[in-house]
Amino acid sequence: MGRILAIDYGQKRCGIAVTDELAMIANALTTVPTKELLSFLKEYTKKENVSTFVIGDPKQMNNQDSDSVRFINPFIGRLKIAFPHIPIDRMDERFTSRMAFQSMIDAGLGKKARRNKELVDSISATIILQSYLETKIIK
């Protein structure tokens, strides 16, 4: 079994989270500038066996796609071309940034640390991945 890698896709940067080799535990990995994301994934998959990509699916409260889908869908197309053998799943990412911020407060991080958008993005990716893992356990 390979790792599951989650991406919290943003226009400027993307948060990345990954599971352990048994695909049981979600961990924040890093934050990567969006323009370097495919290169990062190519290098990462050379070193690690990735069985699935999970991409955050931004939805509005009424369950309609948010505006950022217009940036994510072309990326998914490029991802499919670059990694035709790795399946791609989508996971609802509503509230992940808010949950990431709250988890930073709960962890006792100060205001300066909570302003670190890269940290918020990697925590958001971890929340997306953990939610994905929970849906797989339920099914």
> Can you tell me the mean pLDDT for 115-126?
77
Provide the pairing of β-strand 50-57 with 88-92: parallel
Whole-number Å distance between alpha carbons of 98 and 120? 9
- Band (pLDDT 50/70/90 cuts) for residue 135 is confident
Q: Give me the pLDDT at residue 84, please.
A: 97
Whole-number Å distance between alpha carbons of 104 and 54? 23
* Closest among 15, 11, 39 to 101, alpha carbons compared: 15
- Would the pLDDT of 139 be above 60? no
Q: Give me the pLDDT at residue 123, please.
A: 83
Where on the phi/psi map is residue 138: left (φ > 0), alpha (ψ -120 to 50), or beta?
A: alpha
Q: Give me the pLDDT at residue 8, please.
A: 93
For each of the domains in the chain, give its residue range(s) and CATH number, in order of start.
3-138 (3.30.420.140)
- Would the pLDDT of 38 be above 60? yes
Q: Give me the pLDDT at residue 75, please.
A: 95
Q: Give me the pLDDT at residue 76, please.
A: 95
More confident residue, 14 or 94: 14
